[in-house]
A and B are shown apart, each in its own frame.
Chain A
Amino acid sequence: MSRRAPRLGPIIGRVTAVAFVLVAIASAANCADIPLDQRRSGYLDLGRDSKAMQDDDTINPATLWVQDGEALWNQKAGAANRACADCHQDATVSMKGVAARYPAFSVARNGPINLEQRINLCRSEHQQAQPFAYENRELLALTAYVGRQSRGVAIAPPDDDRLAPFVEAGRKLFNRRIGQIDMSCAQCHDDNWGKKLAGSLIPQAQPTGYPIYRLEWQSLGSLQRRLRNCMTGLRAEAYEYGAPENVNLELFLMWRARGLLLETPAVRP
């Protein structure tokens, strides 16, 4: 008897260890998503001046890109000598709500494509023109112009079963620790939003206003540029512009922000 008693120790220890791991997994799964009613746009945390900048189109520097986008929309391009307007007519009518449901499934790519890629597909297929490079001024301008037509529209990811595995892939990426800092997106933006990282507020990372005019960039930039910023900050190797991983992340973020109103083009610090 006296010999048996000490043997129970390691067994109990192992059982508690297993139980602890199970609890840890369960709680990790629980805190993955921000409750729907607690989600907030980064706009609410802007300073007074930045809010004023976003609210007034004549002050918002992104309007300069929107204007360019409008000009490009009506400008004939490519071997087909066709403008966006020749097929889609008035963007204020035809493009309303479009940005709210991208990324969407593309049969040609057998996966999701974002708004920039959609614009470039139109360019190469229907206009027979050279696609724009990612982050180039023309592409940002057209994306901002198309996005602007959906301002105030609720983000509504397409109800498409074919997208489900890609949303899941995006979620996995969002929750995966990366880089030398060894942190995941979720550790900041799900678990610690509203707290401070150095002097800055940690936002929820809701992509409500892309492309955004970021004061730090002194320019307009895409969601992928922002994602790559975070990856570099974690000292990870950022995925290339247009890489499927980035599009999956975009898709997951839009799904996560479903129902929030689009503010394109937004202003952020």
Chain B
Amino acid sequence: MARPLINVPASVKRGQVFEIKTLISHIMETGFRYTTTGAQIPRDIVTTFSCSYNGEEIFSANLYPAISANPFLTFSTVATESGTLDFKWTGDNGFAESATAKIVVE
């Protein structure tokens, strides 16, 4: 329901390392839990995440059931050119979410 939250600095100096923080709304149901009547709650998790910087993939991750709800991922990269950062999440039951952020390199 909610849009993913992306936190990147508005502008960075060329060659500088900057941090990217992402937070997405997802229940991350492990598939290991049961209801009170004994029925298994099917797994429903985000399985992959990737981030590309001006079309080039700079970070990707595979996610597993042990990762908590609303996965928060943070990583860093080197500022090369001004442009866009594209974020993609995919998961069980056809889950797909994407977001973009602008970055200005001075």
Contact = CB atoms under 8 A, between A and B. Distances in A.
A168 to B, nearest CB: 37
A166 interface: no
Given A218-B68, A219-B69, A61 B23 contact: yes
A164 B69 CA distance: 41
* Size category, B interface: 10 to 19
Interface stretch (A63-71, A116-124, A228-236): A63-71
Contacts of A67: 2-3, 5
Interface string B1-29: 11101110000000000000101010010
Interface string B35-69: 00000000000000000000000000000000011
A59 B23 contact: yes
A59 B2 contact: no
28 contacts: A58-B6, A58-B7, A58-B23, A59-B5, A59-B7, A59-B21, A59-B23, A59-B72, A61-B23, A61-B69, A61-B70, A63-B5, A63-B23, A64-B2, A64-B5, A64-B23, A64-B25, A65-B2, A67-B2, A67-B3, A67-B5, A68-B1, A68-B2, A215-B68, A218-B28, A218-B68, A218-B69, A218-B70
Interface string A46-62: 00000000001011010
Given A56-B7, A63-B5, A218-B28, 15 more contacts: A58-B7, A58-B21, A58-B23, A59-B7, A61-B23, A61-B72, A64-B23, A64-B25, A67-B2, A67-B3, A68-B1, A68-B2, A215-B68, A218-B68, A218-B70
Nearest to A220: B70
A137 interface: yes
A58 B72 CA distance: 10
Contacts of A219: 69
Contacts of B68: 215, 218
A218 B66 CA distance: 13
A61 B26 CA distance: 10
Interface string A209-230: 0000001001100000000000
Nearest to A215: B68
Nearest to A65: B2
A213 to B, nearest CB: 9
Contacts of B7: 56, 58-59
A142 B68 CA distance: 24
Nearest to A58: B7
Contacts of A58: 5-7, 21, 23
A65 B3 CA distance: 10
A146 B54 CA distance: 38
Contacts of A137: 1
Contacts of A59: 5, 7, 21, 23, 72
B25 to A, nearest CB: 4
Contacts of B23: 58-59, 61, 63-64
A68 B23 CA distance: 14
Nearest to B24: A64
A64 to B, nearest CB: 4
A59 B1 CA distance: 17
A206 B104 CA distance: 43
A67 B3 CA distance: 8
Interface string B57-93: 0000000000011101000000000000000000000
